[in-house]
Structure 1
Amino acid sequence: MNILGKKVILRAIDEADLPLLHKWANDPEIWKMLGGWHFPSSVEYQKKWFAGLGADRLNQRFAIEVAELGLIGTANLIDIDWKNNNAFHGIMLGDKVIRGKGYGIDTIMAVMRYSFEELHLERLDTTIIEYNAISLSIYLNKCGWKHEGTRRNWYFRNNRYWDRIEIGVTRDDYFELIEKNNYWEDDKS
């Protein structure tokens, strides 16, 4: 089953995606904008990571695909808590040339739609490094997420510490947003 946005398709990650995912996994320009710590990874590491994807029902990772471009990034729902109906969400867009075209917004909207309308989750959370102003603006201003806290001096990048901005969205926030912006109004999915 694919998850359809208006511009993107979220699908299972395929073995054919691994060369591009390996390239992005070793791109410091991508990873300095994301949380966590990343070491250079080998092709063999990518293959082992891929081998573990299928059986993991608490961590779902998706390829972001655009019909005319192919694979452009990844999105996820991780640490899914089926009892309390929440999960952590993340997104990574690959090459810079695809950014600023609405694919990130559409991916977040598609993940929210799937999470709230199909999985019946109650909330999603994510964290953003304080200098990633573009991601903060997209989540907060375009996708209805709310600022829920700041952890000071959380990330260490470029020989200094940066705050971790914690944001979240609930089912009610999502349905209020789509009622206001009619995001899926012309959607045929």
Structure 2
Amino acid sequence: MNILGKKVVLRAIDEADLPLLHKWANDPEIWHMLGGWHFPSNFDYQKKWYEGLKSDQSNQRFAIDTPDLGLIGTVNLVDIDWKNNHAFTGLQLGDKDIRGKGYGIDTFMAIQRYAFEELHFERLDGTVIEYNNIAYNMITKKCGWKEEGRRRNWYFRNNRYWDRIEVGITRNDYVELIEQTNYWSADSAS
């Protein structure tokens, strides 16, 4: 089963995706904008990571595909709490030339629709590094997320500490966003 957006298709990660995912996994510019910590990895590590995806029901990762460009990134639902119906989500877009074209917004809208309308989640959580204004503005101004707090001096990048901005969206936030924007109607612009 694929998850359809207006511009993107979210699908299972395939073994054929590994060379491009490995390239992005070793791109310091990409990882500078994402939370967590990352070390350079070899291709064997990427294959072991891929093998682990098959049996992990608490962490679901999806390839972001477009009809014209193919694989452009990944999005996830991780740390899934099936009892309380919530998960953490994050987005990684690959090459710079695809950014700013609405793919990130459409990916978030598609993963939100899947989480709220198919998996009956109550909320999604995420984080943003304080200097990643593009991501912050995208999810709060276009995708309905709300800032819920900050953890001061959480991330160490470029020889200083940066805040971790905690963001979230509830099922009601999502429903209100869809009512306001008519995002999924055929004639709405994305």
Please indicate, yes or no, whether the TM-score normalized by the shorter chain is above 0.5. yes
The count of aligned residue pairs is 187
Following superposition of structure 1 onto structure 2, how do residues 79-158 of structure 1 map, counting pairs within 5 Å?
A: 79-158=79-158
Q: Provide structure 1 residue ranges, at least 5 long, that are not aligned to the other structure.
A: none
Q: CA deviation at 1:90?
A: 0.4
- Flag structure 2 segments of 5+ consecutive residues without an equivalent: none
- AA aligned to 1:62 is F
Runs of 4+ in 1 over 4 A off after TM superposition: none
Structure 1 CA distance, aligned partners of 2:127 and 2:143?
15
With the length of structure 2 as denominator, give the TM-score of the two structures.
0.98
TM-score by structure 1 length? 0.98
- Say which SS state the counterpart of residue 167 (structure 2) adopts: strand
Residue deviations 1:77-128 (CA, integer Å, cap 9, x gap): 0000000000000000000000000000000000000000000000000000
The CA distance in 1 between the partners of 2:175 and 2:54, in whole Å, is: 30
Alignment RMSD, CA only? 0.7
Displacement after TM superposition at 1:186 (Å):
1.0
- CA deviations 1:119-149 (Å, max 9, x no partner) are 0000000000000000000000000000000
1:6-45 correspondence runs (5 A):
6-45=6-45
- Partners of 1:54 and 1:101 in 2: how far apart? 31
Once the two structures are TM-superposed, the CA of residue 24 in structure 1 deviates from its matched residue by 0.2
What is the rounded CA distance, in whole Å, between the counterparts of 1:119 and 1:154 in structure 2?
31
Partner of 2:68: 68
Tell me the distance in 2 between the aligned counterparts of 1:2 and 1:56: 18
How much identity, in percent, do the aligned residues show?
Answer: 75
Q: Letter of the aligned partner of 1:44 in structure 2?
A: D
